[in-house]
């Protein structure tokens, strides 16, 4: 089986944009089933000559953002459990939020290796957010722009040990 990368993070940080950039058209069709599989997409990607499986976890913008919402928690935990590495995205423009901190806390205890990436880092608007993300205690964030395709090389290097 291919190594698995789970893209996780709170809603709207750019997980699906990154998934689409990594996976392109090699999208696996996941059965439209209730529960965990309904809320995720899987696909195959390749970086630095390594093929791997990517899981995109859905965001639940309709739910209470004050604490990690139920379905999102189930979804995130399930994806991380089957992943070789969790790719944790934060939004460099929005800065670190309480929900980011809650996810980070859980990740630090989960035991799965984590690569932290600060998305939306194109231009200067993300500079403070990238620095803020260092305080999450998950290592140095990789600044990326999923939308503009920036930082993919550095992200590949950060993921390389697990793919």
In the annotated binding site, the residues are: 9-16, 56-60, 119-122
Q: Where are the alpha helices (DSSP H) in 33-114?
A: 70-81, 98-110
CA-angle at 26, arms to 11 and 148, nearest 5°: 50
- Return d(Cα 92, Cα 49) in angstroms, integer: 28
Q: Does 16 bind Mg ion (CB under 5 A)?
A: yes
Q: Which stretch binds ligand GDP (CB under 6 A): 67-75, 79-87, 143-151, 155-163?
A: 143-151
Residue 113 site contact among ligand GDP, Mg ion, none (CB < 5 to 8 Å, cut-off depends on kind): none
Residue 108 near residue 19 (C-beta atoms within 8 A): no
Q: 146, 158, 159, 163: which one contacts ligand GDP (CB under 6 A)? A: 146
Residues of this chain that interact with ligand GDP (CB under 6 A) are 9, 11-17, 59, 119-120, 122, 145-148
């Amino acid at each position: 089986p291919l190594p698995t990368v789970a893209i996780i993070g709170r809603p709207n940080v750019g997980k699906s944009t990154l998934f689409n950039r990594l996976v392109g058209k090699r999208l696996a069709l996941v059965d439209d089933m209730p529960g965990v599989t309904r809320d995720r997409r899987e696909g195959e990607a390749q970086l630095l000559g390594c093929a791997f499986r990517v899981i995109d976890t859905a965001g639940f913008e309709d739910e209470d953002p004050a604490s990690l919402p139920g379905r999102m928690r189930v979804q995130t935990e399930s994806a991380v459990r089957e992943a070789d590495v969790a790719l944790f995205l934060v939004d460099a423009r929005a800065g670190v939020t309480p929900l980011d901190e809650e996810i980070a806390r859980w990740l630090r205890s989960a035991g799965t290796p984590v690569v932290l990436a600060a998305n939306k880092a194109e231009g200067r608007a993300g500079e403070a957010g990238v620095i803020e993300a260092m305080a999450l205690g998950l290592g140095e964030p990789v600044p990326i722009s999923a939308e503009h395709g920036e930082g993919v090389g550095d992200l590949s290097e950060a993921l390389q040990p697990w793919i």
